[in-house]
Amino acid sequence: MKWLGILFMAVLLASAPGYGSAQQSKDTSPATQPQGPAVKGEPAGTAKSFTPADRQAYEKKTAEELDAIQQKIAELRMKARTGAQQQKRLLIQAANNLQMQQIAAENELAALKKASETAWGSQKTKVDKAMEGLRIAFEPTAAPRK
């Protein structure tokens, strides 16, 4: 049980804004700094701009999906309580792993809600990746076990 707490803290720290970020140190030269699309000479306006309505709709849809996943995790925990002894440990472990991924996705969504207009698109990509990972991780647990 102690390892679960340690693993949970590691997930929270890894998903915290600014932790392990790619912020550049002040003493790096411009030649060694990564270049964004504007610096590389790509035409301006190639990045998709999102209207406030688009942003709200995406945030609402993602929050609803996270709530539905939370309910499925709760159902999985109930199966673990009532299931066969052999499956209990596997179901509890799967529920704990899914819970950690769900919390990480919620943290990404919270960062998305706070993101500026210019950073919203890149933060949306992070949320999309977290949600896709959560969907993929949930697939094996959703299949009925014999």
Q: Is residue 57 part of a domain?
A: yes
Which segments in the chain show pLDDT lower than 70?
1-48, 140-146
CA neighbor of 75 nearest in space, from 105, 98, 101, 106: 98
Spatial distance between the Cα atoms of 82 and 17, rounded to a whole number of angstroms: 39
Q: Give the pLDDT confidence score for residue 90 in this predicted structure.
A: 87
Q: Is residue 126 part of a domain?
A: yes
Q: Which residue has the tokens 């309505």?
A: 53
| Largest pairwise CA distance in the chain | 61
Q: Give the pLDDT confidence score for residue 25 in this predicted structure.
A: 47
Structurally, the chain folds into a number of domains equal to 1
Domain limits for position 130:
49-141
Q: Is residue 17 part of a domain?
A: no
Q: 3-state class of 17 per DSSP?
A: coil
| 88, burial (CB in 10 Å: exposed 0-12, middle 13-18, buried 19+) | middle
Q: Is residue 101 part of a domain?
A: yes
Q: Is residue 10 part of a domain?
A: no
Q: Is residue 128 part of a domain?
A: yes
pTM (global) more than 0.75? no
Q: Is residue 16 part of a domain?
A: no
Contacts of 59 (CB under 8 A, 6+ apart): 109, 112, 113
Q: Is residue 11 part of a domain?
A: no
